[in-house]
């Protein structure tokens, strides 16, 4: 999606990913012999250096990258890296990220470092109480790395599932809604917020996003924007950031985590906002004027297409059906392998009202592969 936005601005993009048919490489052909895509892993130091040698500005779409090498190429290859490697370093360790947010007076759930032992987790449970959210500090995504401990009899199971990963614990937050705000930050540190959205997770993975989030509390969206922008201002470097938050019953907002990149809760911006999260990411890292972040439709929703099995054809059939739904836009990512729970695409639905969004979503949700009706 970033490559698609770049192509409209004649920005030539070199992609580092495994395989010649990696999704982004399907979108953009190399524009010159010295700009051919790189085949390799985004954690391979040699491959990152090979990429850095071909570009003026380097950006990432995942935080689990080798930050040491990004710092090195910034100084030795004269490449601008966005967001700043120091930002990625803070974010990629979720415990470090929480400490950073807390030290900037941003509201977060109570948390503690935890030794990955029976005794360590028991001690954390004594302090924070049960149920408890155990989280891997690193390499976490789509909830892979999270374990809800409800009962101490389940301790061994938690350790088995999290198998020696570096851990910390968070109090389980009794949120009434999960909300998120995309924030774009310029090279000079100015921030602009997209609308507050509601995110609905199923099995720890984002399932649906509704934009805008409606609340009876007229000041809620202002508070959420303030918190999200303060969180992003506390970091360095330019680009788009996704700020995930919990809304509590008393109106309090807590920051869950920040994604230093285009984010699933911002996919709706492609069809529903004046400027998509991808285009504004490019504009920010290239020091171009930032585009309006306002909605251009009254209401929008995004439905993730997760693999229900290894069979991509059932998602393709579903996507074909979605083409018959008014206001629906289909995005299939071109990933070579379909696996259960893997994000394979998404559908954005726009409409003139929330009621019309519900009516348009209903038949989609009924037919979504993997959904038992």
Using CB under 5 A, count the residues that bind Mg ion. 2
State phi, psi for 255 to the nearest 5 degrees.
Answer: -85, 130
Among 257, 266, 300, 344, binds ligand ATP (CB under 6 A): 257
State the SS3 of 177-214.
Answer: EEEEEEEEECCCCCEEECCCEEEEEECCEEEEEEECCC
Give whole-number Cα distances, 361 to 189, 264, 364, in Å: 38, 18, 5
Single out the segment in contact with ligand ATP by CB under 6 A; choices: 50-58, 120-128, 136-144, 276-284. 136-144
Q: Give whichever of 199 and 269 is closer to ligand ATP, judged by the CB atom.
A: 199
What DSSP assignment string belongs to 325-352? STTEEEEE---S---TT-EEEEEEEEES
Q: Give whichever of 97 and 280 is closer to ligand ATP, judged by the CB atom.
A: 97
Q: Give whichever of 55 and 209 is closer to ligand ATP, judged by the CB atom.
A: 209
Among 201, 226, 233, 342, binds ligand ATP (CB under 6 A): 201
Using CB under 6 A, count the residues that bind ligand ATP. 19
For position 244 contacting ligand ATP by CB under 6 A, the verdict is yes
List the structure tokens of 363: 């038949």
Instruction: Give which of Mg ion, ligand ATP, none residue 109 binds (C-beta under 5 to 8 Å, depending on kind).
Output: ligand ATP
Rounded CA separation 336/135 (Å): 30
Q: Which residue's CB atom is positioned nearest to ligand ATP?
A: 173
For position 160 contacting ligand ATP by CB under 6 A, the verdict is no
For position 161 contacting ligand ATP by CB under 6 A, the verdict is no
For position 172 contacting ligand ATP by CB under 6 A, the verdict is yes
List the structure tokens of 205: 């993975």
For residue 33, the minimal CB distance to ligand ATP (Å) is: 37
Single out the segment in contact with ligand ATP by CB under 6 A; choices: 169-177, 221-229, 305-313, 336-344. 169-177
Rounded CA separation 329/351 (Å): 12
Q: Give whichever of 175 and 321 is closer to ligand ATP, judged by the CB atom.
A: 175
- Residue 34 gets which letter from DSSP? G
Rounded CA separation 257/138 (Å): 13
Rounded CA separation 364/366 (Å): 5
| Bridge partners of residue 112, in order along the sequence | 169
State phi, psi for 236 to the nearest 5 degrees.
Answer: -115, 160
Instruction: Give which of Mg ion, ligand ATP, none residue 204 binds (C-beta under 5 to 8 Å, depending on kind).
Output: ligand ATP
- Binding stretches for Mg ion (CB under 5 A): 244, 257
Instruction: Give contact residues for ligand ATP (rule: CB under 6 A).
Output: 109, 133, 135, 140-146, 170, 172-173, 178, 201, 204, 244, 256-257
């Amino acid at each position: 999606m970033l490559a698609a936005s770049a192509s409209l601005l004649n920005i030539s993009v070199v992609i580092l990913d495994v395989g010649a048919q990696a999704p982004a490489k399907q979108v953009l052909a190399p524009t010159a012999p010295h700009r051919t895509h790189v085949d390799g892993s985004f954690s391979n130091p040699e491959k990152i250096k090979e990429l850095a040698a071909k570009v003026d500005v380097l950006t990432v779409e995942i935080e689990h990258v080798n930050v040491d090498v990004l710092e090195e190429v910034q100084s030795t290859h004269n490449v601008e890296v966005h967001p700043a490697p120091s930002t990625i370093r803070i974010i990629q360790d979720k415990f470090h990220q929480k400490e950073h947010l807390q030290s900037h007076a941003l509201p977060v759930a109570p948390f503690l470092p935890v030794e990955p032992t029976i005794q360590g987790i028991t001690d954390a449970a004594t302090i924070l109480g049960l149920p408890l959210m155990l989280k891997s500090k690193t390499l976490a995504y789509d909830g892979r790395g999270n374990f809800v401990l409800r009962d101490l009899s389940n301790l061994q199971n938690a350790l088995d599932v999290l198998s020696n990963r570096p851990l910390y614990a968070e109090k389980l937050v009794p949120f009434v809604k999960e909300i998120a705000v995309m924030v774009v930050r310029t090279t000079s540190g100015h921030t602009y917020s997209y609308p507050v959205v509601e995110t609905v997770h199923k099995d720890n993975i984002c399932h649906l996003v509704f934009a805008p989030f409606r609340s009876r509390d007229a000041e809620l969206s202002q508070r959420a924007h303030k918190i999200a922008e303060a969180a992003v201002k506390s970091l360095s470097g330019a680009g788009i950031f996704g700020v995930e938050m919990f809304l509590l019953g008393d109106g309090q907002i807590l920051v869950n985590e920040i994604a230093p990149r285009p984010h699933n809760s911002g996919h709706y911006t492609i069809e529903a906002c004046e400027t998509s999260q991808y285009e504004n990411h490019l504009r920010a890292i290239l020091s171009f004027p930032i585009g309006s972040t306002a909605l251009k439709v009254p209401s929008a929703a995004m439905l993730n297409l997760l693999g229900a099995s290894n069979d991509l054809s059932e998602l393709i059939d579903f996507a074909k059906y979605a083409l018959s739904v008014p206001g629906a836009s289909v995005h299939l990512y071109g990933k070579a392998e379909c696996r259960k729970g893997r994000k394979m695409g998404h559908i954005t639905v726009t409409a003139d009202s929330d009621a019309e969004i519900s009516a348009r979503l209903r038949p989609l949700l009924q037919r979504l592969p993997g959904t038992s009706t």
